[in-house]
Amino acid sequence: MKKIKTLFVRVFDGKHKPIVTEEIEAGCEWVLNGEGKATRKYDGTCCLIKDGEIYKRYDFKPGRKLPVGAIPCQEAADEFTGHFPHWVKCDPNNPADKWHIQAFVKRVNVEDGTYELVGEHFQSNIDGVVQSGDVLVRHGATVLDVERTFEGIKNYLRDNEIEGIVFHRENGEMCKIKRSDFGFNWIKKGVS
């Protein structure tokens, strides 16, 4: 899954903490026009299920070695950051892939697609989705009812303890907005 645009133009405060403006990012106007669906953005790690295998995301940057068999998520590296996301198949014999594999084998009939792996081993279970262990959540599965205005989106994120919103358009386009883009804290609320 390639990096997706942020809905509103961001400005940086000098400490690398972006804050959004009310200006819509070019190409994202469809969101405020009411197109597509708003879905919950979970705070975990992105995975791909393809042909009965689980893949983790690998951010290939200058100076890093690209693993054998890596599948690019987009055509080229980001022109600003140099990041170039790829998918790398998880290895059941690699201790670094242990939690990915365990969450994957717990599921029955997992459809191909992208998922967020959330739980106690990913971002400290900040979403509080599970009591223990980890779970795969299909991207776009949790649909939200959000007013499609700058203030409506800002207020929704202020009032709901979620990482953010991803807007999905029927043609496959997506854009996102996170609570931190508005300067709201993302407080750990994991289940203990």
pLDDT of residue 191: 40
Per-residue pLDDT reduced to its tens digit, 118-135: 988 887 777 777 767 888
Predicted confidence (pLDDT) at residue 31 exceeds the cutoff of 60: yes
> Within this chain, do residues 155 and 126 fall inside the same structural domain, yes or no?
no
Helices (H), the chain: 29-32, 98-106, 150-159
Q: Are residues 93 and 153 in the same domain?
A: no
Is residue 192 in a domain? no
Higher local confidence (pLDDT), 3 or 11: 11
Structural domain boundaries, residue 9: 5-42+142-182
How confident is the model at residue 188, as a pLDDT? 54
Residues 75 and 111 in one domain: yes
Whether 15 maps to a domain, the answer reads yes
Q: In 96-149, which residue ranges form alpha helices assigned H by DSSP?
A: 98-106
Write down the pLDDT at residue 186.
74
Q: Are residues 67 and 105 in the same domain?
A: yes
pLDDT band, residue 2 (cuts 50/70/90): low
The b-or-e profile of 57-68 (16+ CB within 10 A means b, else e) is bbebeeeeeeee
The proportion of the chain whose per-residue pLDDT surpasses 90, expressed as a percent, equals 61
- pLDDT of the residue at 189: 52
Is the domain of 49 the same as that of 97?
yes
How many Å apart are CA 89 and CA 81, to the nearest integer? 24
- Model confidence over 68-119: pLDDT tens digits? 999 999 888 877 777 889 999 999 999 999 999 999 988 778 899 999 999 8
Whether the predicted model's global pTM rises above the 0.95 cut: no
Give domain status of residue 188, yes or no: no
